Each structure stands twice: as C-alpha cells, then as structure tokens.
A = this chain, B = another copy of it.
Amino acid sequence: MKLKLENHFFVFNPKSYLFGDKLIEYAKVADQMAKKYPHIQVFVTAPYADLYRLNLETENIIVTAQHFDGIEPGRGMGAVLPDSLANVGVKATFLNHAEHPLSLADLSAAIKRAKELGIITIVCADSVEEAKAIATLDVDILLCEPTELIGTGKTSDRSYIEKTNHAIKTINSEVLIMQAAGVSTAEDVYQIIAQGADGTGCTSGIVKASDPKQMIIDMIEAVNKGIGG
C-alpha cells in the first residue's frame, strides 16, 4: 500500500485520551466519512491494545499506531513489536512524535522495519531543519509543526506552509506533508488544506469538543471542501 501523491488525508489522533468503546464509537464515525470520501485517506490512531479491535470494527480507515520500535521478533521485553502490529491490521504508524522522540539510529531502524512490513510512516519534525533531515530517509508523510505554534491555537499560515512544502519537496519530492499545528476547528482544517498541505489532523480539537463525533464529520468535510471537493 503506497499513498499516492494526489490523495489528501486527515488524521484523527486521539493519543491516550481515548480507549475501548468510546474510541471505537468515534472511529466508526471517521470510518463512515472515509467511505463517503474515498479520495480522502482517513487515518485513526489508537493505543496499542485497542488496535486489534479497531481493525475488526472498521473498514475504510487506515489503522494507525502511535509509535513502534524498529526491532525484529526476539527479545525486546516491553518494546512495541512491529510484526505484532502488522499482524492485527496496522497499516501506518507515527514515529518521532515530540512526546516520544527517537534517536536518529532508532528512527532509521523503525523506518526500515516499516518498509519491510508495508507500513506507512508518519514522521514528526519540530522544525523545517529537522524535517529536511528526515526527508532524506524513506518516509511517507512528514508532520512538520513549528514549535512556536504548538498549543497556541494559532495555525501555520500560507507562507509557512509554502516554505515548508518547498524545502521538503526539494529534498524528497514524493513525501506527503501534514500540517497540524494549532488545528482546533473545521475552519482551521479547511484553511490548511486550501493553503496547500497534503493533509492535516487533530487531537484535542476533537476529543475536547462538545460534540466530538460531529467535529470529526465537520473536519473531514472541511478537507473535502479545502481540496475543492
């Protein structure tokens, strides 16, 4: 499974806010939206122990892990084994999130294992400089969040998005670029996609919304609108 450049995507990333029944309930909403808009790839993350069930109870989303370790089956007590995730239907994984930073050697090993298992990698960078370094590796999606915007509720503007896109695609023209800093409303989603990001996503804007399921619907509708759908 290789993402195509023409595709746009949305990531519902509830981190460790959700698990169990509520996670599945929300994921099913995302699943319906993925069915409605087959030209939009919808990724949904879950805690490791929920991935098996997430895969069983959805059909159209891309089941996504929050992280995995670049190990082969063997020792690795307490590590997150990529093969065990692939085996329960995981098709993508985040790597190097600011809340789970990796050494370059570990990141490189994890990307290698993802390639072997056909798992899409969504790799996080704190700055354009780091994003360029990561773009030399064989990653699928780069999430590039300017540290100064995190938690401000302020999204990246057109100039930042264009600058990032240009810097990264000069190094690796095939990588997709996710912009998600400060996204908390459907309008933010629309603006970011309309300004040229390949994809976006959201955590607290959804899980802390007064109606999280409606927010998932609104945000994926906004992606569709942003790409002129």
Residues of A within 8 A of B (CB): 13, 15-20, 47-53, 66-67, 71, 73-81, 83-85, 87-88, 90, 94, 96-108, 125-127, 129-130, 132-137, 171, 203
When all copies of this chain in the complex are counted, the total is 4
Question: In the complex, are the beta carbons of A88 and B136 less than 8 A apart?
Answer: no
Which residue on chain B has the smallest CB distance to residue A89? Answer: B49
The complex places the Cα of A107 from the Cα of B134 at a distance, in Å, of: 13
In the bound complex, do residue A78 and residue B67 qualify as a contact, i.e. CB atoms below 8 Å apart? yes
Tell me which of A15, A48, A51, A108 has the highest count of chain B C-beta atoms within 10 A of its own C-beta.
Answer: A48
Q: Is the CB of A77 within 8 A of B50?
A: no
Supplied contacts A16-B81, A49-B49, A102-B104, 4 more A-B pairs, CB within 8 Å = A19-B83, A50-B84, A75-B203, A129-B136
Closest-CB distance, A74 to chain B (whole angstroms):
6
Which residues in B have their C-beta under 8 angstroms from that of A171? 136
* A66 engages B49 (CB within 8 Å): no
Say whether A132 contacts B136, CB under 8 Å. yes
User: Which B residues touch A101, using CB under 8 A?
Assistant: 103-106
Q: Which residues of B contact A103 (CB under 8 A)?
A: 96, 101-104
Collect the chain B residues with CB atoms within 8 Å of residue A203's CB: 75
- The smallest beta-carbon distance between A125 and chain B, in angstroms, is 7
Distance (Å) between the CB of A220 and the closest chain B CB? 21
**Residues of chain B contacted by A132 (CB below 8 angstroms):** 136
Docked CA distance A17–B77 (Å): 9
User: Of residues A73, A81, A97, which shows the largest number of chain B Cβ atoms within 10 Å of its Cβ?
Assistant: A81
- Minimum distance in angstroms from A7 CB to a CB of chain B: 24
Partner of A77, one of B66, B80, B126, B137: B66
Residue contact B15 to A75, C-beta cutoff 8 Å: yes
Which chain B residues lie closer than 8 Å to A67 at the CB level? 77-78
Q: What is the minimal beta-carbon distance from A17 to any residue of chain B, in angstroms?
A: 6
Cβ-defined contact, A104 with B130, below 8 A: yes
Q: Once the chains are docked, how many angstroms separate the CA of A98 from the CA of B79?
A: 12
B104 touches A15 (CB 8 A): no
